[in-house]
A and B are shown apart, each in its own frame.
Chain A
């Protein structure tokens, strides 16, 4: 169980593919952590954020007198104080040219649009003194009508922002006939109405909260020449750029550090009001300032996810061939547009067709403002919603036609020999084998046996019914080819940067722009570089998450780290080898073409003459004897822009037991077989799948952010927002098939979001499969006992009346 044992066990063969135990663990299991709230700087002040208790109001007065007089209080800053300094928080993805968006202040000036919005900042000597004084800030609110419901908001007044005169932010359309990627979906639907099958459903993607375990924290040190910002973020590079753009601070004067970061799941893919306000407070006081949110603050003010209404029409022939899909989506932006709020539904636009060969497709997304916490990326971001829709529809079609849901899917999916395949949504899938993953999943699941048990229990009228939930999926990962992002009006690129440095002593430093927060980059990147450069796994040090060290980068989200970030590392390592080759050739008095590089050593073909990579690094360090004009360094940088997305896929099967008397839905068995291409570290891949499954299952069964009619988040603590515990989940059976990605040198596809994307529809399909024979046609998420029980009772009532 020690490092020595591991080395013995894992000594032979290439590093890539080994279940290396993580380098990151040692500090995390011993408490030597550098989470932002663990850090202190001399003279540090503490902030408290006074937040609006009301969802929609004019601010008519803010009295800070009593708060300012409270012991230990250094300053109280209001919207009026900061109005001309704070700028407006950015939306980096204006999806249309005429997208409407309100000004987005870090601290409200005269209008609040959701409960939880910051209305004043208290700066005090201690967090407790700040908290005491927060109670003394007196804000007068003049209430405005609150709009919460998506359909009501889309229809017209009242408006979340009266000055906009509408709640609709933007409408975005993809039409396969217009794009030239398919037929006219309305014609497909008309044909199916005439002589086929049309399935029309409305599904609700409830609002979720990312609920990373580490509450967000920010520490800003304004002393010295540079402003240093430690922040619990997925995107330190974004934070640096946006602090410069929004606050007018020269980018070169800002250093952003994401130290240990306790999870993100998209929830820390944001540029936050609290980051802006902590910087402004530090500049105002000239002292280091820290802000750490409480969990309750995090749940109400950190961005939420999902919250979409999907109106769907699926067309098929009578023999079960799917011909068209029309998606009419209402997406809840909440009260403001965050970093990529408006683009989240658009990320789903390319995935509704999933693994199927559709002729016609149209996706219409209407983004709508409400007086709620703003939404943005949450694990999967647009793609779980799309996958849920199509996978639920495929089950509905199977039920309508009386077909086995897997067999119906197979009839419609892209066969393995048909890759590369251009989809109706305009993407080109490079590789995949849905048959292989499905066959393996069925085998591990015991599909036929469970179907037989299901029949037995149905025939015997067992009060606990068994349902089998099927979900097949693919996702677009590796965000993203920069040109595609440009075409979609995203303001940034999708490349990633890396540096590889061989130190004079032969140790290797790898700098990655992909900032990890639990994914294990330090371990995986070490494995890749160890193989590439022929050095020991232990001799590779991976550095990230500090803009002074990792100067260029686009960070971690969208299952991009391995497919884009590690590819940049590979490209940099290859450059190092080529530079070293020139030095080795010079010193060995051989032609560079005659040198072979293997196992960390250059050898002259056909001789025993050779030189280690480390020796070339030392020669470069000395600079005594190098080729004329050769710079004394073998270090190299690379920036890699992917040529295409990657397309992991998988088949997930869930056995659900539903107690028809209580409505309790219990997950008995879960099998998933994922194809994520080549695997660098199977232990890390499995861990990603486990965690992803837990979050996707939680959407199906447990989690929902709930507002009351006044716009108060009533699921605003961990008492009310049900993040599942160990007792709520079973052990999962996971396996993999491998179709190598053909669009990157590593053959990898990404795994961070797979489990979350596939599992939600598997669970809901399973619940329905257990009770469909009772006349239940849908159960809204989360499938809590009361919801399931009501659905069963409604079916009984309807059945009785019919």
Chain B
């Protein structure tokens, strides 16, 4: 067991974890952040994507101990005071989810995508989300949601 200190969605946690514990297991089982889900066991689906110090990572692909001293943001930490993150709002507005299982990871990856490239082409969006699988939407409205946020940022001149 190893003691780790991680800030998750703005709250500082200090916990003993088994060394083999994956970050996603720690988040779900010890911290109770079940909003982040597990869709596969080969790092293909991206459903478990969270932000580590502001960059997207698949939380099934790193150990909890590797997050020691870092800051994690999950889907549960995006909205503040009842106000959705623009990407969450865009997913709702664009009907970019059906069953919603891939949605937490998809939203976290989409935010990271725009952090890298504020004004992506459709192809760049599709390639940028290649690591996140969705079985319901055919991706069309997910792409629209990302375009909606990118367009809104561009039109207001705001950086993401």
Binding site for B on A (CB under 8 A): 1-2, 21-22, 24-33, 35, 37-38, 128, 211-215, 260-263, 265, 294-296, 517-520, 683-684, 686-688, 690-695, 717-719, 723, 725-727, 729, 731-732, 755
- Is the Cβ of A31 less than 8 Å from the Cβ of B75? yes
**Per-residue contact bits, chain B 27-67, to A (CB 8 Å; 1 contact, 0 not):** 01000011111111110110100000000000000000000
Query: In angstroms, how far is the closest chain B Cβ from the Cβ of A6?
Result: 9
Q: A213-B45, A725-B133, A729-B138 are in contact. Are A29 and B107 (CB under 8 A)?
A: yes
Q: A262-B99, A295-B41, A718-B45 are in contact. Are A30 and B78 (CB under 8 A)?
A: yes
Instruction: Decide if B8 is an interface residue (CB 8 Å cutoff).
Output: no
How many residues of B are in contact with the other chain, CB < 8 A?
A: 58
- Is the Cβ of B138 less than 8 Å from the Cβ of A690? yes
Nearest chain B residue, comparing its CB with the CB of A27: B100
- Is the Cβ of B129 less than 8 Å from the Cβ of A726? yes
Contact of A25 among B91, B127, B137 (CB under 8 A): B91
* Interchain residue pairs with CB less than 8 A apart (17): A21-B95, A25-B91, A31-B34, A128-B20, A213-B133, A214-B99, A294-B41, A295-B40, A684-B95, A686-B95, A687-B141, A690-B137, A693-B138, A695-B135, A718-B40, A726-B127, A726-B134
Contact of A732 among B33, B34, B134, B138 (CB under 8 A): B138
- Is the Cβ of A30 less than 8 Å from the Cβ of B140? no
- Is the Cβ of B37 less than 8 Å from the Cβ of A35? yes
- Is the Cβ of B140 less than 8 Å from the Cβ of A32? no
| Residues in A neighbouring B38, C-beta threshold 8 A | 37, 215
| Residues in A neighbouring B20, C-beta threshold 8 A | 128
User: Told that A31-B33, A213-B133 touch, could you supply 16 new A-B pairs with CB distance under 8 A?
Assistant: A22-B95, A25-B92, A29-B75, A31-B34, A32-B35, A33-B100, A37-B38, A212-B135, A215-B38, A262-B100, A687-B141, A688-B98, A718-B44, A725-B129, A726-B125, A726-B134
- Is the Cβ of A694 less than 8 Å from the Cβ of B138? yes
- Is the Cβ of A691 less than 8 Å from the Cβ of B98? yes
Residue of A37, A262, A692, A718 with highest tally of chain B CB at under 10 A: A262
Query: In angstroms, how far is the closest chain B Cβ from the Cβ of A268?
Result: 10
A128 to B79, CA, bound (A): 32
- Is the Cβ of A30 less than 8 Å from the Cβ of B138? no
Nearest chain A residue, comparing its CB with the CB of B98: A518
Contact of B47 among A25, A128, A213 (CB under 8 A): A213
Residue of A212, A214, A694, A725 with highest tally of chain B CB at under 10 A: A725
User: 8 nearest interchain CB pairs?
Assistant: A31-B35, A28-B100, A262-B101, A518-B99, A690-B138, A694-B138, A718-B44, A38-B34
A357 to B126, CA, bound (A): 42
Instruction: Decide if B15 is an interface residue (CB 8 Å cutoff).
Output: no
- Is the Cβ of B84 less than 8 Å from the Cβ of A30? yes
| Residues in B neighbouring A22, C-beta threshold 8 A | 92, 95
| Residues in B neighbouring A686, C-beta threshold 8 A | 95, 141
| Residues in A neighbouring B143, C-beta threshold 8 A | 726, 731
Q: Count contacts between A and B, CB distance < 8 Å.
A: 184
| Residues in A neighbouring B137, C-beta threshold 8 A | 687, 690-691, 694
| Residues in B neighbouring A684, C-beta threshold 8 A | 95
Nearest chain A residue, comparing its CB with the CB of B146: A726
A2 to B84, CA, bound (A): 9
| Residues in A neighbouring B131, C-beta threshold 8 A | 725
Instruction: Decide if B142 is an interface residue (CB 8 Å cutoff).
Output: yes
A684 to B95, CA, bound (A): 8
Chain B interface mostly helix, strand, loop or mixed?
A: loop
Q: A25-B92, A213-B45 are in contact. Are A35 and B138 (CB under 8 A)?
A: no
A211 to B33, CA, bound (A): 24
- Is the Cβ of A260 less than 8 Å from the Cβ of B133? no
A398 to B107, CA, bound (A): 46
Q: A687-B95, A690-B138 are in contact. Are A128 and B129 (CB under 8 A)?
A: no
**Per-residue contact bits, chain B 129-160, to A (CB 8 Å; 1 contact, 0 not):** 11111111111111100000000000000000
- Is the Cβ of B129 less than 8 Å from the Cβ of A29? no
Nearest chain B residue, comparing its CB with the CB of A6: B93
Contact of A726 among B75, B88, B136, B139 (CB under 8 A): B139
| Residues in A neighbouring B91, C-beta threshold 8 A | 25, 29
- Is the Cβ of B95 less than 8 Å from the Cβ of A683? yes
Query: In angstroms, how far is the closest chain A Cβ from the Cβ of B129?
Result: 5
Q: A718-B45, A718-B133, A732-B140 are in contact. Are A213 and B34 (CB under 8 A)?
A: no
- Is the Cβ of B104 less than 8 Å from the Cβ of A211? no
- Is the Cβ of B101 less than 8 Å from the Cβ of A30? no
- Is the Cβ of B35 less than 8 Å from the Cβ of A687? no
Q: A33-B37, A727-B126 are in contact. Are A687 and B135 (CB under 8 A)?
A: no
| Residues in B neighbouring A262, C-beta threshold 8 A | 37, 99-101
- Is the Cβ of B97 less than 8 Å from the Cβ of A29? yes
A683 to B95, CA, bound (A): 7
A188 to B94, CA, bound (A): 52
A518 to B28, CA, bound (A): 23
Nearest chain B residue, comparing its CB with the CB of A697: B138
Residue of B74, B84, B98 with highest tally of chain A CB at under 10 A: B98
A603 to B132, CA, bound (A): 55
Contact of A518 among B35, B36, B100, B125 (CB under 8 A): B100
Q: A29-B84, A262-B101, A263-B99 are in contact. Are A213 and B76 (CB under 8 A)?
A: no
Query: In angstroms, how far is the closest chain B Cβ from the Cβ of A766?
Result: 18
| Residues in A neighbouring B99, C-beta threshold 8 A | 212-214, 260-263, 517-518
| Residues in A neighbouring B16, C-beta threshold 8 A | none
- Is the Cβ of B44 less than 8 Å from the Cβ of A719? yes
- Is the Cβ of B97 less than 8 Å from the Cβ of A295? no
A723 to B20, CA, bound (A): 29
A732 to B101, CA, bound (A): 23
Contact of B76 among A2, A31, A260, A296 (CB under 8 A): A31
Query: In angstroms, how far is the closest chain A Cβ from the Cβ of B9?
Result: 10
Contact of B135 among A28, A296, A691, A731 (CB under 8 A): A691
Instruction: Decide if B116 is an interface residue (CB 8 Å cutoff).
Output: no
- Is the Cβ of B41 less than 8 Å from the Cβ of A717? yes
Residue of A25, A26, A211 with highest tally of chain B CB at under 10 A: A25
A212 to B44, CA, bound (A): 14
Q: A263-B101, A518-B99, A729-B139 are in contact. Are A214 and B39 (CB under 8 A)?
A: yes
- Is the Cβ of A28 less than 8 Å from the Cβ of B103? yes
- Is the Cβ of B92 less than 8 Å from the Cβ of A21? yes
- Is the Cβ of B127 less than 8 Å from the Cβ of A727? yes
Instruction: Decide if B89 is an interface residue (CB 8 Å cutoff).
Output: yes
Instruction: Decide if B23 is an interface residue (CB 8 Å cutoff).
Output: no
Query: In angstroms, how far is the closest chain B Cβ from the Cβ of A577?
Result: 31
Q: A30-B88, A262-B100 are in contact. Are A731 and B140 (CB under 8 A)?
A: yes
- Is the Cβ of B35 less than 8 Å from the Cβ of A33? yes
- Is the Cβ of A520 less than 8 Å from the Cβ of B100? no
Query: In angstroms, how far is the closest chain B Cβ from the Cβ of A384?
Result: 16
Residue of B40, B44, B92, B135 with highest tally of chain A CB at under 10 A: B135
